[in-house]
Chains A and B, each alone.
Chain A
Amino acid sequence: DSGVTQTPKHLITATGQRVTLRCSPRSGDLSVYWYQQSLDQGLQFLIQYYNGEERAKGNILERFSAQQFPDLHSELNLSSLELGDSALYFCASSVGRSSNSPLHFGNGTRLTVT
């Protein structure tokens, strides 16, 4: 068990809708990362927060947004959903602000857009 908790495990929704994915990092970890995993693209970095502030941005669409709250949990908001957004979304956490420290991944949220 990595200590990173993601909810929900599965999410099925329709195109055009909005969903929120939640992540609780490992105790003591200040960084939270969001990754999207699809069969053809592999693991794609979306965004990183460190102690409540945005630290790095990757291939995150404008329809997607995230935040990290004072208690360090994070939420990823996906809006105007399209079929192509169907994927596994992983949250990871680490102690430091750099990804050169080990990342601890949750078990992911599987999003299906119909």
Chain B
Amino acid sequence: QQQVKQSPQSLIVQKGGISIINCAYENTAFDYFPWYQQFPGKGPALLIAIRPDVSEKKEGRFTISFNKSAKQFSLHIMDSQPGDSATYFCAASRNGGSQGNLIFGKGTKLSVKP
């Protein structure tokens, strides 16, 4: 069964610290790995995404690291701020076909303490 395993389930970080969330996948056919951010009462919103032809992608304080051989990818939030407190979901999908839908991890609830 296609799965994306995400850890930790919850994370508390001090303001200014680095938040790290990890995900592992099984299906080597996956070729798109986005991260979504969800605030309470809102739907998930795309934060950053990576494809397996690169090992790292950075957008502002957010960085995805991708390890194709280990089938793992992670989200790093540098200089974490209280406004970053939200639930983060990793996801994976493969292009094309009837199975081309996003498989989400179960989420990580991040709390950034001031």
Contact = CB atoms under 8 A, between A and B. Distances in A.
Interface of A: 2, 4, 33, 41-45, 48, 55-58, 90, 92, 97-100, 102-108
A14 to B, nearest CB: 25
A90 B43 contact: yes
B57 interface: no
A103 B105 CA distance: 16
Contact of A102 (B34, B41, B100): B34
Interface of B: 31-32, 34, 36, 41-46, 49, 89, 93-96, 98-107
A98 B32 CA distance: 11
Contacts of B105: 42
A45 B102 contact: yes
A58 B104 CA distance: 12
B43 A105 contact: yes
B21 to A, nearest CB: 14
A41 B106 CA distance: 7
Contacts of A43: 44, 89, 104, 107
A57 B100 CA distance: 10
Contacts of B103: 45
Contact of B98 (A42, A55, A108): A55
B49 A106 contact: no
A33 to B, nearest CB: 7
Contacts of A103: 44, 46, 102
Top 3 A-B pairs, shortest CB-CB distance: A105-B43, A42-B106, A43-B104
Contacts of B42: 107
A99 B106 contact: no
B41 A98 contact: no
B48 to A, nearest CB: 11
A98 B96 contact: yes
Given A2-B45, A92-B43, A98-B96, A33 B101 contact: yes
Nearest to A4: B43
